[in-house]
Structure 1
Amino acid sequence: MPALVVPRSSVADSVRRAARSGQWDDHPAYTGVARMDDGQFDAWTDRLVADAREGTPRPEGFVPSTNLWWVDGTEFLGRVQVRHRLTPRLRDLGGHVGYWVAPAVRRRGHATAILAATLPVANALGLECVLVTCDDDNVASRRVIEANGGLFQDRRGVKLRFWVPTA
């Protein structure tokens, strides 16, 4: 049964496979994952976990974020990032929550389940509602957001913006 977990080395091989899929997104925290040796991978997962702490150094414009992986046993299926607060850029483009599902397991309900499992995490961070965005032509993501109670607010450029209650 898939579940959200803290990033961990036990799924390293399947994370690397997902990174080599050719459809890995360009999130800066995930650059170079496919080529990491075990030591680099361990250090990287430590940084992902540390990113949730307020005092962790991060690039300008980035905020503390809780990074979780959607796994089934040792199989990495996807990931989610919960940004603890919004900057003006995140308010327009990124929102509080960003999720990604490995191409090999798409169209099986994982994105909907990831977002549903993420909402209590966001609530525990003190977020009563989270902003979730998607591209205006991403019908699948829009359905995921709406299936989790997302209420459409507006469109900004190519981004649709939804507020999703966390409780």
Structure 2
Amino acid sequence: MELRMSLVRPTVNLKDEYLSFYQEWIESGEDMVPWVISKDPSDFEGMVQFLFNNEKGENLPGNRAPDSTFWLVVGDNKVVGAVNIRHRLTEKLFNCGGHIGYGIRPKERNKGYASKLLALSLQKAKELGIEKALVVCDEGNIASEKTILKNGGIPDSNFVEEDGNVIKRFWIELS
């Protein structure tokens, strides 16, 4: 039996499920990817409103691009992943952020969720008018690289950050 999987907009209706997702990331000690999941959810309604404001391009600092956030929900509303889709690329996003940043909660990895999350995210990016999506990962993140390639990623030149970290960059045609 195939597990039901969908991308949903952040909602207060999934507060408990999201807090479990968030807590698992905190306990793992890993960097939280995408960046939006590092937003403190103690004011949950405020966090959801912040995400909606970002999507509408409201109250964005400086040169930040509007972005849309979705949660990957499986089965009985379990939040297993999150994605942040940037509507356009700034110079920084072109170099090392890309259009799509996504992450799967630590205990749910290696189950095929990342490939499905990226595939669903590419559909959303196309709906946003993005014709060619840039997706990136750190050089050592073999699982993410395989996920990007599986979803049609074409390698582009790498970007080396100031600290020496190498970012692998891939383009995916959405036409």
The TM-score with structure 1 as length reference comes to 0.90
- Following superposition of structure 1 onto structure 2, how do residues 1-167 of structure 1 map, counting pairs within 5 Å? 1-21=4-24, 22=27, 23=30, 25=32, 27=35, 30-33=38-41, 36=42, 40-54=43-57, 56-72=58-74, 73-157=76-160, 158-167=166-175
Instruction: Using the TM superposition, give the Cα deviation of residue 16 of structure 1 relative to its aligned residue in structure 2, in angstroms.
Output: 1.4
The TM-score, its normalising length taken from structure 2, stands at: 0.86
User: SS of 2:158's equivalent?
Assistant: strand
In 1: Cα distance, 2:72 partner to 2:65 partner: 22
Cα distance in 2 between the residues matched to 1:30 and 1:144? 23
Q: CA deviation at 1:139?
A: 0.2
**Identical positions, percent:** 30
The unaligned stretches of length 5 or more in structure 1 are none
Contact residue 18 and residue 24 of structure 1 kept, 8 A: no
- State the Cα deviation string for residues 10-38 of structure 1 (Å, max 9, x = none): 221122122222236172563322xx1xx
C-alpha deviations, 1:25-80, integer Å up to 9, x for none?
172563322xx1xxx212211221221113x0112232100111101232111100
Alignment partners' CA distance in 2, 1:113 and 1:106: 12
Superposition CA RMSD, Å: 1.5
Check conservation: 2:86, 2:100, Cα contact below 8 A: yes
CA–CA distance in 2 between the matches of 1:164 and 1:150? 5
CA contact 1:18–1:103 (8 Å) conserved in 2: no
Contact 1:10-1:74 at 8 Å conserved across structures: no
Distance 2:174 2:89 in 1: 16
In structure 2, list runs of 5 or more residues that go unmatched.
161-165
More displaced 10-residue stretch of structure 1: 144-153 or 67-76? 67-76
Count of aligned pairs between the two proteins: 161
Q: Distance in 2 between matches of 1:49 and 1:100?
A: 19
Q: Which piece of structure 1 moves more, 14-23 or 103-112?
A: 14-23
Q: Residues 28 and 5 (structure 1 numbering): CA distance in 2 closer, same or farther, change over 3 Å?
A: closer
